[in-house]
Chain A
Amino acid sequence: MDYGFTEEQKMVQELARKIAVEKALPLRAELDETGRFPWEVVKALAEANLTGIAIEEKYGGIGGGTLEYCIATEELSIICGGIALAYAATGLGTMPIIMFGSEEQKQKYLPDIAAGKKLAAFGLTEANAGSDAGGMQTTAKKDGDYYILNGTKQWITNGGEASTYSVIAITDRKKGARGASAFILEKDMPGFTFGKKENKMGIRASATSELVFQDCKVHKSQMLGKEGMGFIVAMKTLDRTRPGIAAQAVGIAQGALNEALKYSRQREQFGAKISTFQAVQHMLADMATQTEAARCLVYAAARSIDSGSEETSKMSAMCKLFASDTAMKVTTDAVQIFGGYGYMKEYPVEKMMRDAKITQIYEGTNQIQRNVISLELIKELAAKK
């Protein structure tokens, strides 16, 4: 199907697909088992310039946008959602710098990320602040020209592996929605350590760790935007990067569909290939239709963002909601089509089902997405009056 990609977008897709098949595919089973970080794939992505995909050319990137980022993430996810996340999460950690960074901050951090020399991570979530981000406990107390950070961030993708961290902390709780600020932190800053690395159900090739701040002293020049902009930075970042996670879900769904289709053509029961059974055919048709619909919604959201639209929250939330629910359903159906074999670790689909689940939870749970969508709908209606 023709998605109207430009020549450059097709190049991105070809490169990402090549890396996925040649570098990620041989590793995915091992990395799922051991949880080892996919540095080899990061190296290949860096060689291909894909680590700089959404960074401007003047900082060493290739000046692409959200759609390019989605295309690359999707291609990698078809092969392995975990490996794709190691790539996509850097995009998440870099976005606050791209959107809110000063020229000095961009010059300092973006070139190494674009070159694939350093990875990035986004530190928002805490043990008691998941959906309720406002309930975060990490504080950044002003002390002259510095801020002292104390607290723990939880479940941070690329935690421990990344060098550059965009972290949100409370600077003045009394100010409510204006009470948080965003900071750029570097690995090895005194007072900044990592807690345990999580042992996860899926996306095991990606590293998920705690970020621990104990009197971590950070110069005010590391603040992104102005004091009090923390929640805005977080929300706007998530709006822009949701399609990327949605693309991951689309890729996972597509990968599962590909495997199920191939298997149905090989497996024989009752003297016939199971692909000839209408029950299986209907499942495959639904899986394909939903995946395609999710893909189109993701591309539409990405194009909307890239066109400079300010009203991207609703589309972002919709594509993430729909793609992740689709991924969960398609991977579950894929395991079903594989039957008993689908349950065995030797076959790739059970991993895909385990990988899919998180897409319904992170980057804003699907319940939160529904909140966002309904609020946007009401806002739109109110604006018309």
Chain B
Amino acid sequence: MNIVVCIKQVPGTTQVKINPETNTLIREGVESIINPFDENAIEAALQLRDKHGGKVTVITMGPPQAVNTLKDAIALGADETVLISDRAFAGSDTWATSYTLASTIRKLGAFDLVICGKQAIDGDTAQVGPGVSEFLNIPQVTFAVGVEINNGVMKVNRLLEETNEIVEVKLPALITVVKQMNTPRMPSFKGKIKAKSAVIPIWGAKDINAEDGKIGQKGSPTSVVKIFTPPPKGGGEILNGSVDEMVDVLVKKLRDRKVC
């Protein structure tokens, strides 16, 4: 099986804070990590490869330092990696990103399955998976929590709001995976040694035959006009006294406000 995984290097958003004076993200000291959902995507790919044989290629679109995230993927067990990086990609929104990734996957050659994480924890859009499917003209199955493949037919368990939906689709196809799909394996020492000496190819716009008007800022329908910190939600009160006293006060307040 030929599996392609799309991953993204993101700042560890649990640590991202805004500097109150400058209203900017404090990026110093915030480490870059593989987008957590993409770890599940890589794990899903590796498990399928271990079971069915084949190859796992991990790709990422990003600035030059995103190569570290591909090294992490090699340490986890990825067979091959490609970094898609070019000044021309700067300013890409999800449309242009999807187009760029799809162009790359086409360049890689025949594939059976593309796996993406549900969403990236910096953008939180969950738009790239479906976008890539559209550009590759293959069916998509999102929110996958379980995958089985038999004779070229994939059965996917989708985790929806109130239900689990089981669907079947013939490969090639794309899936986006949620956290509950699997527990990502640890990187291995042998993998880290391999990653250390790995030479990772870097592809630019020309290498993937990308149309100029569809990449980067030029190719992006949306643009950001403003960023700001959300207003702090304040004005609460911490109750005092013994537990009994606090409970009494709380119940009275809630009853007065007619909430319960």
Q: Check B189 against A50 for contact (C-beta < 8 Å).
A: yes
Binds A, one of B82-90, B111-119, B180-188, B217-225: B180-188
> Which of A15, A18, A45, A62 neighbours the largest number of chain B CB atoms within 10 Å of its CB?
A15
- Chain A, residue nearest B196 (CB): A7
Give every chain B residue within 8 A of A30 (Cβ-Cβ): none
In the complex, A49→B187 CA distance in Å?
A: 9
Q: State the Cβ distance, B196 to closest chain A Cβ, in Å.
A: 7
Asked if B198 CB lies within 8 Å of chain A CBs, one says: no
Chain A minimum-CB-distance residue to B191? A49
Q: Tell whether, in the assembled complex, residue B186 and residue A11 are in contact, meaning their CB atoms are under 8 Å apart.
A: no
Query: What A residues does B196 contact at CB under 8 A?
Result: 7
Closest partner residue, chain A, to B188 (CB atom): A49
Q: Are B192 and A11 in contact (CB under 8 A)?
A: yes
Q: Which residues of B, 154-200, contact A by the 8 Å Cβ criterion?
A: 185-193, 196
- In chain A, positions 18-76 with a C-beta closer than 8 Å to chain B are 18-19, 23, 44-45, 47-50, 62
Chain B's nearest CB lies how many Å from the CB of A261? Answer: 20
In the complex the two chains form, is A62's CB within 8 Å of B189's CB? yes
Whether A11 contacts B185 by the Cβ 8 Å rule is no
Q: Supply 13 further A-B pairs (C-beta < 8 A) apart from A8-B189, A47-B188.
A: A12-B189, A15-B186, A15-B192, A18-B187, A19-B186, A47-B185, A48-B186, A48-B187, A48-B188, A48-B189, A49-B189, A50-B189, A62-B190
Distance A62 CA – B192 CA, assembled complex (angstroms): 12
Top 5 nearest A-B pairs (CB, nearest first) are: A49-B189, A47-B186, A48-B186, A47-B185, A49-B188
**Most chain A CB atoms below 10 A, which of B186, B188, B189, B190:** B189
Distance (Å) between the CB of A19 and the closest chain B CB?
6
Write out the residue numbers on chain B whose beta carbons fall within 8 Å of the beta carbon of A23: 186
Chain B residues bordering chain A, tally (CB within 8 A): 10
Residues of B17-48 contacting chain A, CB below 8 A:
none
Number of A residues contacting the other chain (C-beta, 8 Å)?
Answer: 15
Tell me if B's interface is mostly helix, strand, loop or mixed. helix
A14's nearest neighbour on chain B, judged by CB, is: B192
Are A44 and B190 in contact, CB atoms less than 8 angstroms apart?
no
Contact residues in B for A62 (Cβ distance below 8 Å):
189-190
Chain A contact residues: over half helix, strand or loop, or mixed?
A: helix
Contact among B186, B190, B191, B193 with A18 in the assembled complex (CB-CB below 8 Å): B186
CB-defined contacts of A18 to chain B, threshold 8 Å: 186-187
A15 touches B187 (CB 8 A): yes
Task: Report the Cα distance A8→B192, complex, angstroms.
Answer: 9
Which residues of the partner chain A approach B185 to less than 8 Å between Cβ atoms? 44, 47
CA distance A49 to B76 in the complex (A): 11
Pull 23 A–B residue pairs with CB atoms less than 8 Å apart, ordered by A: A7-B196, A8-B189, A8-B193, A11-B189, A11-B192, A11-B193, A15-B186, A15-B187, A15-B192, A18-B187, A23-B186, A44-B186, A47-B185, A47-B188, A48-B186, A48-B187, A49-B188, A49-B189, A49-B190, A49-B191, A50-B189, A62-B189, A62-B190
A12 and chain B: residue at smallest CB distance: B189
B190: A residues at CB distance < 8 A: 49, 62
What residues of chain A lie closer than 8 Å to B193, measured between beta carbons?
Answer: 8, 11
* A168 CB → nearest B CB, Å: 32
Return chain A residues, CB-CB under 8 Å to B189: 8, 11-12, 15, 48-50, 62
* Distance of A2 from chain B, by nearest CB (Å): 20
Name the distance in Å between B93's Cβ and chain A's nearest Cβ. Answer: 33
**Please, which residue of chain B has its CB at the minimum distance from the CB of A45?**
B186
CA of A97 to CA of B190, assembled, Å: 23
Chain A residues, CB < 8 A from B186: 15, 18-19, 23, 44-45, 47-48
**Complex Cα spacing A7 to B193, Å:** 9
CB closest residue in chain A, given B77? A47
